[in-house]
Amino acid sequence: MKFIVSSSSLQKQVQAVNSVINSSTVLPILDCILFDINKGELTLTATDLESTISSKLQIESKENGQICIPARLLIDTLKTFSEQPLTFSVDTKKFSIEISSDYGKYKLTGQNADDYPKIPTIENPSTFELGGKAMASALNKTIFATGNDDLRPVMSGVYFQLSTDNITFVATDAHKLVRYRRLDSKAKFNASFIVPKKPLNILKNLVTANDNEVKVAYNNTNATFSFDNYTLICRLIDGKYPNYDAVIPKENPNNMTVGRTPLLSSIKRVSIFSNKTTHQVRLKIAGSELNVSAEDLDYANEANERLTCQYVGDDMEIGFNSRFLIEMLANIEADDVTVEMSAPNRAGIIKPAVSDSSQEDILMLVMPVMLNN
């Protein structure tokens, strides 16, 4: 079997599918990428048995066939080439591969494609579509809030809640929560499922480059995301997602509006002086003044900064984990943010003061840290 392919096109596609391969795999064949040639089209496939990614590429070839090629060796080789045609000559009986370039020849040994795990197919799927930029935005603004607790696997993914009015993405680790809603997309009927973090990180990196529609097909066990030349299939997380609506406080009489960038910069500076275990920063709001402070009593470190804000409500002092605030403020694009609070022991809600887009609705919730006065 012989085929000719552009080195840069192949490198791009190989790196994309390689993102699913784990650094340490149980089965040696999972370190390989499956090359499948059919009528001048090359399909590359990689899997970790939970998630599978495929991409298609046009090549020159008169023959059809399959071979598994070691991913790491192939990527390291492709990285070194400038743009040029590469000729692959494959012996499908001995599983040997010879790559010919302008510079010379390189030989490596692959594996039998018949041993490669079967690619899952989704029976009787339901579908919906979302623009690439909208999908990337939804994932960027939610994935950071997912949990890592093995005892609560449902929290280690993003909850997709589909309705006939909108599509909602939710992520929480019980300390922080993000609810991101797209008003420009809807499903044919109400449904919900939980997608693991790893395939969504891969998807996020692949869709940011374009605004083509992402077609999503799902059933009770798997979901498929198809766009451009890529198809990503992943197993869904089994379980019931917590009732996130119940934890969002509805009555928040204390409202502060403040510049997002000045607040983010202030928290980044002040948090350097906070306790290394709690990462606590204290927000003290009185009138139109916001005082941001932190202290580490073990080392007698402390920092104070003052910002101006617009505030409606009673004077208030509340503590938050600075790392959560920094993550949230970094994932909002608006110039100003509104922080809604009810009491020092109740969750605070962060929203853009004015949304950048009429098609998205975002709410971030952060649990307070008890202040030791």
- The architecture of the domain spanning 249-366 is Roll (3.10)
- For 126-245, CATH gives 3.10.150.10
Cα–Cα distances (Å) from 195 to 16, 120, 150, 247, 362, in that order, read 19, 16, 15, 22, 19
Distance, CA of 255 to CA of 127 (rounded, Å)? 40
Which residues of the chain does CATH 3.10.150.10 include? Answer: 2-115, 126-245, 249-366
pLDDT of residue 305: 98
**Residue holding tokens 């993102």?**
19
Element (DSSP H or E) covering residue 140: helix 132-140
Question: What is the predicted pLDDT for the residue at 373?
Answer: 63
User: Over 90: is that where the pLDDT of 225 sits?
Assistant: yes
Would you state the structure tokens that stand for residue 188, as one six-digit string?
């044919």
Model's pTM, two decimal places? Answer: 0.93
pLDDT of residue 355: 81
Give the residue among 258, 306, 310, 266 at the shortest CA–CA distance from 288.
310
Q: CA 268 to CA 283: how far, in whole Å?
A: 13
- Estimate the share of the chain in helix, then strand, then coil, as percent rounded to the nearest 5: 20, 45, 35
Q: Given this model, what pLDDT does residue 25 score?
A: 87
pLDDT tens-place string over residues 286-329: 999 999 999 999 999 999 999 999 999 999 999 999 999 999 99
Which pLDDT value is given to residue 283? 98
Q: Which fold has domain 2-115?
A: DNA Polymerase III; Chain A, domain 2 (3.10.150)
Greatest CA separation for the chain: 79
Which tokens go with 268? 């980044």
Indicate whether 120 pLDDT > 90: no
Q: How confident is the model at residue 211 (pLDDT cuts 50, 70, 90)?
A: confident
d(CA 92, CA 18): 22
Mean per-residue pLDDT, 215-226: 96
Supply 317's token pair: 């002092």
Over residues 57-80, mean pLDDT:
96
